[in-house]
Amino acid sequence: MRLGWLISTVCAIGALSCSGCNRVGNPAEDPPLRPQDVVDFGTLYSQNCSACHGQNGQNGPALDLANPVYEAIIDDASLRKWITNSVPGSEMPAFGESAGGFLTDRQVDVLVEGIRKNWAKADLRAADAPPYAMNLPGDGKSGEQTYKAVCLSCHQKPNEQISDTSYLALVSDQGLRTITIAGRPDLGHPDWRQDRPDRPLTNQEVTNIVAYLASLRSTTPGQPYPQQP
């Protein structure tokens, strides 16, 4: 009897010890990742980008990253710069740690690599389009004429008036240029080739259109404040 009781007691203590070890640290369970250690593109994009750029890179309020023309004209350095430091003159925030955000350099690289892998198309070449960045001085008066000739037929609609000062307060010159060149296929907006199918827009014409729209910006967008007596 005493031997049997002793064996049972030893077995019970051993079982409790093993279960206690499992609770303290089960090698089969991976510890949760720290936010700065997440390097999965889908997770990073969903948490940081999809609210503005759409769950699949399109149909969001901001530029559609899944647009293959956009992917053709922008380079990796520009993508990395905008993600890290924000786009001046727009609602795009800075995500990089070096600019006050929460993403490491490695995580920014993962986003750039994932955007390319998922949405770039090898058959489109940047050389076929006006350059992504402005490299010419713009002429607002000529831009107004071109805008009225090739853009106004669509943008005179009340919900598509991009000349509205409230809209212009939310978009940068680079954003205007990018959309003029690459379009917004998710919204039915044509690119630089389809605005005028018989003769695609030139680099100078795109630059002039942006200069014209930029000239319409207000320093106090929205309804003007009443004059104080």
The string of pLDDT tens digits covering residues 97-133 is 999 999 999 999 999 999 999 999 877 777 789 999 9
Please give the structure tokens belonging to residue 126.
């940047």
CATH assignment of 137-215, among 1.20.81.30, 3.90.420.10, 3.30.1510.10, 1.10.760.10: 1.10.760.10
Helix, strand or coil for residue 103? strand
Sign of CA dihedral 63, 64, 69, 75: positive
Residue 19's beta-bridge partner residues? none
**Tell me, what amino acid is at 36?**
Q
Could you check whether 35-125 and 137-215 share the same CATH topology?
A: yes
Please state the pTM of the whole predicted model. 0.80
Q: Write out residues in the chain with pLDDT < 50, as ranges.
A: 1-3, 5-7, 9-25
Check: CB of residue 183 under 8 Å from CB of residue 64: no
Domain ranges of the chain: 35-125, 137-215
- With CA atoms as reference, report the closest residue to 174 among 91, 89, 69: 89
Task: For the domain covering 35-125, report its CATH number.
Answer: 1.10.760.10
Q: How far apart are CA 104 and CA 130, in angstroms?
A: 32
